[in-house]
A and B are shown apart, each in its own frame.
Chain A
Amino acid sequence: EDQVTQSPEALRLQEGESSSLNCSYTVSGLRGLFWYRQDPGKGPEFLFTLYSAGEEKEKERLKATLTKKESFLHITAPKPEDSATYLCAVPNFGNEKLTFGTGTRLTIIP
């Protein structure tokens, strides 16, 4: 059964303090890994898709990387507006169903 584990569960950083969020996965044949951002009271907002080990994608202060067993979301010099829950998800083998992790709740303190 496909599994996705995110760590840490919650992370508090000072503004400007860089860090990384982890997403470990176990799937039968990786067909991509998705990162989403979710603000309170809103739906998940798509950030990145990574398809193969070694791939990297960037968007503003965020950079996502992928290995054969995990993905990292690096946050460089974060700002308070980066505070949100970050979710990762992988497609199940043979269909379009996504298995989501439980998310990392990130708080950036001014």
Chain B
Amino acid sequence: DAGVIQSPRHEVTEMGQEVTLRCKPISGHNSLFWYRQTMMRGLELLIYFNNNVPIDDSGMPEDRFSAKMPNASFSTLKIQPSEPRDSAVYFCASSLEAGSADTQYFGPGTRLTVL
């Protein structure tokens, strides 16, 4: 299995621009998680989906952030407009069984820099 796939791996953009991060979970996994990692705050959960349905988005910092999962093999995290404080590494993770504390497998991350 290819594992969790994320794109792009690096993104540099200017303040005010729209940024879209993409994730393909492991085939057959039913839960998908979006995290943000910074030196100051560590790993923070932004939102997670079970069976393509958003379950908890309480970690999304503000309305500039949105996430979708149109099907079982694809999810996006969008930031519009982007701000310098959004600079971080964004990880996508997936787990097999929805509704339980199953092992989460992480992708390689997208390093976002907002100038």
Contact = CB atoms under 8 A, between A and B. Distances in A.
A103 B104 CA distance: 17
B42 A100 contact: yes
Interface SS of B by simple majority = strand
Interface residues of A, number: 21
A17 interface: no
A23 interface: no
A76 to B, nearest CB: 24
A86 to B, nearest CB: 13
Contacts of B50: 96
A98 B43 CA distance: 10
Interface stretch (A41-49, A54-62, A64-72): A41-49
B31 interface: yes
B103 A34 contact: yes
A16 to B, nearest CB: 30
B77 interface: no
Given A32-B101, A43-B91, A96 B48 contact: yes
A91 interface: yes
A103 B42 contact: yes
B105 interface: yes
Nearest to B6: A43
A91 B33 CA distance: 13
Interface string A66-107: 000000000000000000000100010001111011110000
B107 A96 contact: no
Contact of A95 (B42, B56, B93, B109): B56
A12 interface: no
Given A44-B43, A44-B106, A96-B48, 9 more contacts: A43-B91, A45-B106, A46-B103, A96-B31, A96-B33, A96-B55, A97-B45, A100-B43, A103-B42
